[in-house]
Amino acid sequence: VSPNARLSLQAAALGLGRAITRRTPERLLLVRFTADAPVPTSAKEVAIQRFEGMDTAVIGTAACSYQRLDARLIAELKGEYDYVILTAPPLSEGYEGVELAQAADMVLPVIEAETTRKPVLQSLLTQLQDAGAIVLGAILLGRRSHIPPVVYRLLIERKWRG
């Protein structure tokens, strides 16, 4: 879930998927929810494609709001995979992310450094908590170091000396 930026969500999900597949041979599925995709009624109807050793699928967001299909569909997918990573459209585009959070085991909000403002993040966290989501932590993307590396090294050396 992210307050804005769709690309950040995809980057975070892909990075998390890569990290999991490097550490374990278990089956992983990346699911992207979007407005312009078909809405399957069961896991058997989900079109699965392989990408970098991971299974991927794109599912219509109507599955989120239309008769609460998301919870049943996600439960079916979780029965077939060891890990299911979900991404939804950002909250700036709708509330599907909050709805999906109710069906997820845990949520990792994606935050863009120097872009996501504190009140927006607080609002997102409140909405997730009100929906009953378990927020495990957060993924911070785009962090830049404003202090040159040489200054960091000097600070670290000074800390160790005393």
User: Which residues, 6 or more positions from 84, have their beta carbon under 8 angstroms from its beta carbon?
Assistant: 28, 29, 31, 74, 77, 78
Given a cut of 70, is residue 7 above it in pLDDT? no
Confidence of residue 92 (pLDDT cuts 50, 70, 90): confident
Global pTM value: 0.75
% of the chain exceeding 90 in pLDDT? 17
Confidence of residue 110 (pLDDT cuts 50, 70, 90): confident
* Chain centre to alpha carbon of residue 133: 13
* Per-residue pLDDT reduced to its tens digit, 15-73: 889 999 888 888 999 998 887 888 888 889 899 999 988 999 988 876 555 555 667 88
The Cα 96–Cα 85 span in angstroms is 15
Residue 96 confidence class, pLDDT cut points 50, 70, 90: confident
